Amino acid sequence: MANRAYELFEEQYYARTKKSKQMYEEARKYLAGGVVADGAYRTPYPLYMKEARGTKLWDIDGNEYIDIMSGGGPTILGHSPAPVMEAVKKQLDHGTQTLVTHSAAVELAKKICQHMPGMEEIRYVHSGSEAVHTVLRLSRVYTGREKHAKFEGNYNGQLDNELVSGSNFGGLEESPESVAQCPGIPHGVLNDIIVLPWNNTEASVALIKKHAKELASVVLEPVACAHMGGIPAEKTFVQALRRVCDDYGIVLIFDEVITGFRLGLSGAYSILGVIPDLRTMAKLVFGGLPGGLYGGRRQIMELVAAQPISSQAGGIMFQKRKMFQSGTFAGNPISVTAGVALIKELEKPGFYERIDGYGERIRDGIRKIATAMGFPVQVVGVGSMFTVYFSEHPVRTIRDAAKANKELGAAFYMGLIVNGVYVAPFHWAITNGAMTDDDVDRILEGSEKILKEMKRHQA
C-alpha cells in the first residue's frame, strides 16, 4: 500500500539526514517550530541547508538536491545567478539603505511599467502580503466602499484580511462562506470579505452583482498556485470579471505575487489578455532578494501620491482621500539593483520558451509514467509551474484538490526528497533558468523510480 511505500521512503530520509535531525532538536530551543517560516517545515522534521547554487541545494548532511521549489518562487534564474550577484556586490560598496529614492528604483519601475500592461505607476513595499493589503486599502479609498471579494482556494497573503478561504473552505460550492485559515483572524474581518467560487463564471458574477454596492474590489490569483498548484483562471472567466467590475465601478486586482514575470514579461496578461486596474508583484521581481510592489491605473495610483502639508500642530497631514503608505526598506538600493539585473536577463530572447518547455516536459513526462503504471494522476500547471495530484478526476478548484488521494501524494513527495529532488510536500514546483536537460532527466528518472516503488507496494 501507499503507506508502506511512504514508510520505506521515510526510513531513507532518516538515514540520509541525521545532522538535520540533530539541528532540528537544537533549533527548536530558539526558533518557533525549529524553522524560519511554516513553508520550511516538513515531516518528520525539516532539512537544514548550507549552500544554494544554480539549480542545486546542499543540506548539512552533504546531500545534493535539484531545487524545483526555487526558494518558493524568487529564484527564476537559479540560485546565486552571476549577473545579479555582481550587481549586488557593486551596490554593497555604495550603501544598503538610505530611505532617499535610489536611481535603480526609478530604472526598475520604468522597466516594470514598460513590460506590464496597465502598470502606469508603481509603489514599492516589503512583501507580497503587504502589497495585497495595500491595494485593498487603496481600492477602498478610490471607491468609498469597504468590502472586497476574493476567490476560494486563492492565496493572497498572510495578513488578517488575506488569510481567508484558501486551503480551508465552507458553504456551498456556488456560494462559499468566508472561513478563517487559522486561529486569530477576527470575525469582523470575515464579514468584510465576499468569497467567490473559482472558475465558476455564472455564480461569481451573480455574487458580485448581489454585493456590488458594498464591494470596493475583486482580487484574484490569475494562476492559483499556493493552494491549488498552478491552476490557471479560465480566460472567459476573467473576461467576465473584467466586464462586471467595469459595470459596477469595482476595482479588479490581479495578485501576481507569483505570476508576475513568471509567466512572461507581461505576467498573466500573456495568457489571459485582460488588464486589471491594480496589480501586486513580489517573489522573483527582486532577483532573489526581499521586496514587493503594487501599481496600476494612474487615476487610482494618484491617491497614493499626495504631497504632505504641515498641520497647525507642526505635524504632517495629507489631503482628503489620499492614502498613506510608506516603509523604511521599501525599494531599498540592494533589492532594486538586483531587480534591474534580473529583468535584463529575462529580456534575453528564448528565456521563457526554455523554462516553460522544461515545465511542459516534466508535466507530460510524469503524466505518461504514472498513467502507464495505472495511477490515476492529474499533473496541473502552466508554463514553468506544475503539481502532481493522484486523482481520477480533473482538478480545477480547491475542492477538487481536497478529494485527491493524500496517501499516494504523501508517498510521492517523500520519494522525491530521498531521490534528490527538493520540494515541500504538496507544494507547487517550478523550473528555472539554470536548469538543464540533465536536471529534467533526473527529475523524470527519479519520479519513475518512486512510482515503481509505490506500485510494488500497491499490488
Residues identified as active-site: 155, 255, 283
DSSP at 293: E
d(CA 385, CA 165): 22
DSSP at 373: T
Is the peptide bond preceding residue 44 cis, with omega within 30 degrees of 0? yes
Pairing, β 215-220 against β 147-151? parallel
The secondary structure element, H or E, covering residue 104 is: helix 103-115
d(CA 377, CA 49): 31
Contact assessment for residue 194 and residue 178, using Cβ atoms and an 8 Å cutoff: yes
257, amino acid identity: V
Q: Of 133, 128, 99, 134, whose CA–CA distance to 292 is shortest? A: 128
Sign of the C-alpha dihedral computed for residues 83, 68, 395 and 42 taken in this order: negative
> In degrees rounded to 5, what are phi and psi of residue 252?
-95, 125
* Exposure b/e, 409-445, CB count within 10 A at least 16 = b: bbbbbbbbbbbbbbbbebbbbbbbbbbeeebbebbbe
Three-state DSSP at 220 gives: strand
d(CA 198, CA 224): 9
Contact assessment for residue 229 and residue 167, using Cβ atoms and an 8 Å cutoff: no
d(CA 84, CA 61): 28
DSSP at 375: -
d(CA 21, CA 24): 5
Contact assessment for residue 235 and residue 273, using Cβ atoms and an 8 Å cutoff: yes
Q: Of 258, 255, 198, 291, whose CA–CA distance to 69 is shortest? A: 258
CA distances from 408 to 1, 91, 413 (A): 9, 48, 9
d(CA 400, CA 270): 26
